Structure 1
Amino acid sequence: MRIGELSRRTNVSRRSLRYYEEQGLLIPKRLPNGYREYDERSVTTVRRIQILLSAGLGTSAVAEILPCTVDDSVVLSGTCPELIDGLAKERRRIDATIDDLIAARDILDSLVGRPLHAGAAPSH
């Protein structure tokens, strides 16, 4: 399939697909006319990339993780145990960021003497 079809099937922009290719995450065949040709596995690969990026991982981490997935999911196989420590470290970083954001929200609430709700402006 061509890039347009892959884009439609995955709901990912052509620009993002080209970026994934530049990062070595997605490797299409090149036809003699220069067009990219993707196989069925590319759909699964793009979906995996999207899940991993949405987890806050960078493309270099995604590149390490992709070869360790064994089925249509993003569950890691037992073939890459060395990634577990790095993912645990990333989870701790996310937890710390969440804690910092909660503390910032609590400070904002204390400034007005009550919890502020999303989208609500304080009354004067």
Structure 2
Amino acid sequence: MNYKKEEETEQQKFLSACSQYDYDVLTGKLEMTQNDYRRITHLTISLGFIAYTACLLRRYPDIAEQEEQHQEREHEIYLEYLEYYEDESIYEQEEQWVKDFLDQMPKEKRDYFEQLLAENENY
């Protein structure tokens, strides 16, 4: 499958399963915030939707740059404070994003997306 087709397929899959709020953000009905971008890209990466994640990076370059700077700052903090992610509940927040994503969809879709998450959990 060519890259553009893969991007479109991943986008369709994500849009068919995401919440109405995320759908509205991703289709331009609502403005994308930094927190939306962080959450949505965490989900797309967790699902293995790399082509669609790259699409989001291109579509929101200013937010993507801010997010990169934020992650660099967090990493610098982590290097000096190894419990940072745990103490700041970052892992719990990411787990909650995935749980919320799965909980809002019908069971027949949830099974498919749970499988994708399991296949990509090491990435």
Larger relative contact order (CA 8 Å, sep ≥ 6): 2
Give the TM-score of the pair, scaled to structure 2.
0.28
- Pair member with larger Rg: 1
Give the TM-score of the pair, scaled to structure 1.
0.28
Greater helix content: 2
